[in-house]
Amino acid sequence: MKKILVINGPNLNLLGLREPELYGNKKYPDLVKYIKNTAKELRLKVKVFQSNEEGKIVTKIQRALNRYDGIIINPAAYTHTSIAILDALKAVGIKTAEVHLTDISKREDFRQISFVSRYAFCSIFGEGFSGYKKALEQFV
């Protein structure tokens, strides 16, 4: 059974509170439950991690080496700012899918830049929770 690490970045823990007109009313525990249920249906083993701290995300990526078959990452605001996360992904060389709940290509100019996209083998934007399902399917 393939093991997938799902990493969620800053403020995703505030789903349901933060800009519900963009992100909807479902809360972060709903997302985690969705990811775990979907992974089970697809016969994947999944670990879900969320942090508001860039360094903790980098460390989690580094510790994934030789432990996970794939990474799904929604770096949230770090998408547009973190070369450290990009470098960590490149260093471990684990197949990575990028997911965003909203379509960052249709948002503010600064949100249209994704450093993670330079490494990820696929990027899924604007699909809400189902974007995670599409990403998980890439590892089946």
- Tell me if 96 sits within 8 A of 119, measured CB to CB: yes
Q: What is 23-35 written as a DSSP string?
A: H-S--HHHHHHHH
Q: Is 78 a catalytic residue?
A: no
pLDDT tens profile 96-115: 999 999 887 777 787 678 89
Per annotation, catalytic residue among 23, 28, 78, 119: 23
Per annotation, catalytic residue among 28, 78, 80, 100: 100
The CB-side HSE value for 86 (13 A sphere, CA atoms) comes to 13
Q: Is 68 a catalytic residue?
A: no
pLDDT at 19: 75
Question: How many other C-beta atoms are found inside a 10 Å radius of the C-beta of residue 84?
Answer: 15
pLDDT at 21: 75
The Cα-based distances of 45 to 7, 21, 71, 100 in angstroms read 14, 32, 12, 21
pLDDT-flagged residues of the chain (< 50): none
Which residues face 48 on adjacent strands? 6
CATH for 3-137 is: 3.40.50.9100
Q: What is the pTM of this model?
A: 0.93
Domain boundaries, the chain: 3-137
